[in-house]
Structure 1
Amino acid sequence: MPDVIFYRDQALPFLEAKRCLKSDFAYQKHFHEEYSIGLIDKGETYAWCDGTMHRVEEGRMISFPPMMLHACHPEEGANWSYKMLFIKQDWLQGLKQHELDGLHIPFLLEKGKNKACRIHINRTMEALTGAGSPLEIETSLIELIQSVVSWNDSDFTHKRHNNRQDRKYVNLVKEYLHENYTEKITLDDLERITDISKFHLIRLFKQSSNMPPHAYQNLLRINHAKTELMKNLRPIADIAAEAGFYDQSHFSRTFSKIVGATPQKYVISM
């Protein structure tokens, strides 16, 4: 495996991910034009941020605003690896201004917030490196940013009362997903049909449905596939493609997580 790997999705030009396994590589002073946020997976490093030195241990997250000068210096012989996301500023403008104010970096996340954000950055990386859909990748990224800018841990689980207008937006999304679940849907599509911010939309949908839109779409796809598999008339690969999965292995993994058996076992058991 290469020491440094970059990941991108053409449908999401505002996002780039990096995974680094160079355990003894020190970065000289530099800055990024994007907002950057990373997680130390193994080992530790010293991060110099605009004149201040921070010790960043395994499991800790750190982020930098655009154009902030910084450098990273792992200890000699350290077994150091990390992942980093680079997010273009124009995408972040979708956040409300008071939320953007929370991105005052250099920023070492602490305790509950660090734990919550670590879950979300790992989900974003898993979706991007595992060829997840654009809807899944961007949703995970939004949940990460929302966790970063939350003022306290209770923000992660806070639910506000859903009014009639909120339910209207959620119903619009569900109707669209039911009509187009085999298609490659993006958050831009959902933003367009509801005419509300994708950041706000993710909150409303999760509060109402207890899952993000991409997970709801996958349920619709799997239920469709189960119906077709029960007929036992066509190859599994054809059904996977028809349901909207990019390949059979992706279909099999998703099917197993939801049904508890692979598509092959599901067919045999009938």
Structure 2
Amino acid sequence: MTHTRDIPQSFWRDEQLPWLELRSTWQSQQAYKRHNHSQLSIGAILEGETCSQCDGKYYHLKVGDLIVIPPLVPHSCNPVNGLFRSYHMLYLDVRWCLVHLPALNNNQMLCSRDPVIRDPQLFQHYMNLVALMQQRQTTQITDAAQALLRSLPLQSVTPENQSTASQYLRERLQTNLLAPPSLDNLAQECGMRKETLIRTFKQDTGLTPASYLNILRIDYARQRLRAGDEIADVGYQSGFADQSHFHRTFVRYTAATPRQYALGRSISDNK
């Protein structure tokens, strides 16, 4: 298998458009560990095939397919039979999305009626948006992103209530990335057995506490890398014991290296 560092991929960002990010990956066999994003994610398959697990269901994606992944929904998008595939992933800030979807309730959660979209016209609209990013047409990018967003089968739903224990665990982990409390201590604080706490948290979030903590750390690391912090500093700031652990975990959850993500160059640089 090709090393992650050798896979052609990039992350397009623009300071004038902080609500948008585009990932472009070419000829990759790299798999993802199950994770979630705080943004609305929209993927496009360019070459090969992808097996996606989204919110507990499996989908087989082919060239020309789009997939819409709601915020905070656990998912993975992995190669089929270890074969290469190429794809774009567009990430849109939820608050920006809700501002431009006035028909939806801003106090609720975005979701998709059907995550997989097989619509050639909509796929072309997506690719046109990508082309505008390559040309750095800022005003046109905004208009095209709004038009794409409004074309998606999105709706808002009331989030399911999580148990008090899961809410408590989330808050404790979110505020202690450098020195998180142990599960034994958290279970004791919640007045339950550790196994029960883990099972309850996974039922509520779709993730184990360990995966949830790793995702929090990787999200924070991405923020610091986007801000221009040194990779060696970011690993420590995010709570990883050493650079090897940081690099390994970053790759497992993002299918990219910290350096690839930090470069954030235009997608045209990969051509």
Deviation at 1:102, TM superposition (A): 7.9
2:62 corresponds to which of 57, 70, 78 = 57
Matched, 1:123 2:128: yes
Structure 2 gaps, min length 5 = 1-5, 156-271
Q: CA deviation at 1:130?
A: 2.0
1:23 maps to a residue whose letter is S
Question: CA 1:7/1:146 → structure 2, altered by over 3 Å: closer, same or farther?
Answer: same
Residue 8 (1) aligns with residue 16 (2):
no
Whole-Å Cα distance in 1 between the matches of residues 115 and 21 of structure 2?
Answer: 20
Deviation at 1:115, TM superposition (A): 1.6
| Matched-pair contact (CA < 8 Å) for 1:24–1:76 | no
Residue 81 of structure 1 aligns with an amino acid whose one-letter code is: S
Q: For residues 1-270 of structure 1, what are the structure 2 equivalents within 5 Å? A: 3-94=8-99, 95-98=101-104, 103-104=111-112, 107-110=115-118, 114-132=119-137, 134-149=138-153
Unaligned runs of 5+ in 1: 152-270
1:25 and 1:75 map into 2 onto residues whose CA distance is: 11
| TM-score with structure 1 setting the length | 0.50
CA RMSD of aligned residues (A): 2.4
Aligned length: 147
Question: Over alpha carbons, which structure has the higher Rg?
Answer: 1
Q: Is the 8 A contact 2:111 2:154 kept in 1?
A: no
Contact 1:24 1:80 in 2 (8 A): yes
Q: Which residue of 2 aligns with 1:188?
A: none
Show CA shifts across 1:138-185 (max 9, x none): 11111111221389xxxxxxxxxxxxxxxxxxxxxxxxxxxxxxxxxx
Post-superposition offset of 1:89? 0.8
Return the offset for 1:98: 4.0
More helix by share: 1
Per-residue CA deviation, residues 53-102 of structure 1 (Å, 9 max, x unaligned), is 11011110001010000012212342300001100011012212349888
* Maintained 8 Å contact 1:40/1:83: yes
Structure 1 residues 69, 105: closer, same or farther in 2, change over 3 A?
Answer: farther
Displacement of 1:103 after TM fit?
4.2
Q: Deviations over 1:19-68 (max 9, x none)?
A: 01142111110000000001000010100112111101111000101000
Contact preservation (8 Å) 1:48, 1:71: yes
TM-score, normalisation: structure 2:
0.50
Conserved 8 A contact 1:64-1:105: no
Deviation for aligned residue 1:106 = 5.6
Give the secondary-structure state (helix, strand or coil) at the position aligned to 2:34.
strand
Cα separation, partners in 2 of 1:106 and 1:67, compared to 1, 3 Å: farther
Rounded Cα–Cα distance in structure 2 between residues aligned with 1:70 and 1:150: 18
- Counterpart residue type for residue 146 of structure 2: I
- Give % identity: 27
CA contact (8 A) 1:47 1:71 kept: yes
Tell me if the contact between 1:46 and 1:56 (Cα under 8 Å) persists in the aligned partners.
yes
